């Protein structure tokens, strides 16, 4: 076991799978000599060479188009998009082509592509480097969407994603890249895609989140405990496919649900979770399902701390739910 940051776990997952499977290749802007904008691919070029670690032009649609072709010819590409904010030029390639290959070919072809991209705020990146647009991709049939919150899960989920036969949008919470550390096994292991985790047991309210907001939720749950409120924190880990059973089981136990994410509130992934709870567990609810989210504006630079839900804002929603 080695103590690793979330970023180091991402790097180690790619290195591990590239050593285990020569079909695994990495491509993206500055992923080679520079090791990526956050240094997630640092050292891979020296270890595996230019034929498996490829710097590309500044062309996101080209990156995904090339990765899709590679997958159809038997490779298992990992395509890095430097920031989720830059993924939109490749949106058509992802939702119209990559996600549809298994369906349109009747299962003859698969598209084992992993699209890695940092998402969310917390580094004062302003409106072009802080977006959380995961709902776009979770809405698209044929894509899997993964969002880890811990170094252990990041490595295990990335290895699972690389081995998966379907395309995976792998969302990395960049404000956690170097701020969380834990022991992570050396070598290969997997964390199952589509399975949520109970990050903290509780009995009064279910607090549901993913990515960087999980850390905020755990701190809010700790603060709530000082006031005698027992909060169960669910780390979704995967948005699509969603572990509905774990969510509903928790809500049926607690009778209350608060969903936290960084994305703008209107039309966010939290809205889908809220709808599922209302559809499947309404008889268990003792209070309305609440959503604590980012604002329905572009992510601000100066007021980023007001945009992203913090511990106090999450705690206020917990209190509203419990006191209803």
Percent of the chain with pLDDT over 90: 95
Report the pLDDT value the prediction gives residue 164, as an integer from 0 to 100.
98
Same domain, residue pair 154 and 216: no
- CA nearest neighbour of 98 among 84, 108, 86, 109: 109
- What is the phi/psi pair of residue 222, to 5°? -65, -40
CATH of the domain at 121: 3.40.50.970
Instruction: Report yes or no on 293 lying in a domain.
Output: yes
Same domain, residue pair 174 and 32: yes
**Confidence tier at 217 by pLDDT (50, 70, 90):** very high
Instruction: Report yes or no on 74 lying in a domain.
Output: yes
Query: What's the pLDDT tens digit per position in 88-137?
Result: 999 999 999 999 999 999 999 999 999 999 999 988 888 899 899 999 99
Mean pLDDT of 192-213: 98
Range of the structural domain that residue 142 is part of: 2-184
116, 129, 174, 237: the catalytic one is: 129
- CA nearest neighbour of 231 among 311, 154, 308, 147: 311
**Confidence tier at 232 by pLDDT (50, 70, 90):** very high
Token couple for 19:
């050593």
Cα first-last separation, the chain? 45
The set of residues, in sequence order, having a beta carbon less than 8 Å from that of 125 and lying 6+ positions away, is 83, 299, 301
CATH of the domain at 249: 3.40.50.920
Same domain, residue pair 17 and 149: yes
Q: How far apart are CA 107 and CA 165, in angstroms?
A: 11
Query: Is this prediction's pTM over 0.85?
Result: yes
Instruction: Report yes or no on 191 lying in a domain.
Output: no
Domain ends where: 152, 184, 216? Answer: 184
Instruction: Report yes or no on 190 lying in a domain.
Output: no
pLDDT value at 199 more than 90: yes
pLDDT value at 300 more than 90: no
Q: Which residue bears the tokens 């811990």?
A: 150
Same domain, residue pair 18 and 131: yes
Domain ends where: 184, 210, 226? Answer: 184
Same domain, residue pair 90 and 27: yes
Domain ends where: 184, 213, 229? Answer: 184
Q: How far apart are CA 252 and CA 246, in angstroms?
A: 10
Same domain, residue pair 34 and 131: yes
Mean pLDDT of 189-204: 98
Same domain, residue pair 87 and 47: yes
Mean pLDDT of 292-296: 95
Mean pLDDT of 285-294: 97
**Confidence tier at 198 by pLDDT (50, 70, 90):** very high
Report the pLDDT value the prediction gives residue 35, as an integer from 0 to 100.
95
Report the pLDDT value the prediction gives residue 314, as an integer from 0 to 100.
98
Same domain, residue pair 17 and 86: yes
CA dihedral 146, 156, 94, 91 (to 10 degrees): 60
Query: What's the pLDDT tens digit per position in 143-182?
Result: 999 999 999 999 999 999 999 999 999 999 999 999 999 9
Same domain, residue pair 307 and 256: yes
Q: Where are the alpha helices (H) located in 86-230, listed in sequence order?
A: 91-92, 101-104, 134-138, 151-163, 213-225
Same domain, residue pair 17 and 148: yes
What's the mean pLDDT when you consider all of the chain?
A: 96
Mean pLDDT of 247-251: 98
Query: What's the pLDDT tens digit per position in 20-69?
Result: 999 999 999 999 999 999 999 999 999 999 999 999 999 999 999 999 99
Same domain, residue pair 231 and 285: yes
| Cβ proximity of 4 and 58 under 8 Å | no
Same domain, residue pair 253 and 316: yes
Instruction: Report yes or no on 304 lying in a domain.
Output: yes
11: part of which helix (H) or strand (E)?
Answer: helix 6-20
Report the pLDDT value the prediction gives residue 129, as an integer from 0 to 100.
93
Token couple for 261:
């994410």
Decide if 129 is catalytic: yes
pLDDT value at 303 more than 90: no
How many domains does the chain divide into? 2
């Amino acid at each position: 076991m080695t103590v690793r940051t979330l970023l180091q776990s991402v790097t180690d997952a790619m290195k591990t799978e590239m050593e285990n499977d020569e079909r695994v290749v990495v491509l993206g802007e500055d992923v080679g000599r520079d090791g990526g904008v956050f240094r997630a691919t640092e050292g891979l070029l020296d270890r595996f060479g230019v034929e498996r670690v490829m710097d590309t032009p500044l062309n996101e649609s080209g990156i995904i188009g090339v990765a899709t072709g590679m997958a159809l010819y038997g490779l298992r590409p990992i395509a890095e998009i430097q920031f989720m904010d830059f993924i939109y030029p490749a949106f058509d390639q992802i939702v119209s082509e990559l996600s549809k290959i298994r369906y349109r070919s009747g299962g003859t072809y698969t598209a084992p592509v992993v699209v890695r991209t940092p998402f969310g705020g917390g580094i004062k990146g302003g409106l072009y480097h802080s977006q959380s647009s995961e709902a776009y991709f979770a809405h698209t049939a044929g894509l899997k969407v993964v969002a880890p919150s811990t170094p252990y899960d990041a490595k295990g989920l990335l290895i699972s994603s690389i081995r998966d036969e379907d395309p995976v949008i792998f969302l990395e919470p960049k404000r956690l890249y170097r701020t969380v550390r834990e022991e992570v096994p050396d070598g290969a292991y997997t964390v199952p895609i589509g399975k949520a985790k109970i990050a903290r047991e509780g009995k009064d309210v279910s607090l549901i989140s993913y990515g960087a907001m999980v850390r905020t939720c755990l701190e809010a749950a700790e603060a709530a405990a000082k006031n005698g409120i027992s909060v169960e924190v669910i780390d979704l880990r995967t948005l699509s496919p969603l572990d509905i059973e774990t969510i509903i089981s928790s809500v049926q136990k607690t009778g209350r649900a608060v969903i936290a994410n960084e994305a703008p509130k209107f039309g966010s992934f939290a809205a889908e979770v809220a709808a599922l709870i209302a559809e499947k567990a309404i008889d268990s609810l003792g209070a309305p399902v609440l959503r604590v989210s980012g604002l329905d504006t572009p992510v601000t630079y100066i007021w980023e701390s007001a945009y992203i839900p913090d511990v106090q804002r999450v705690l206020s929603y917990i209190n509203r739910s419990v006191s209803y």
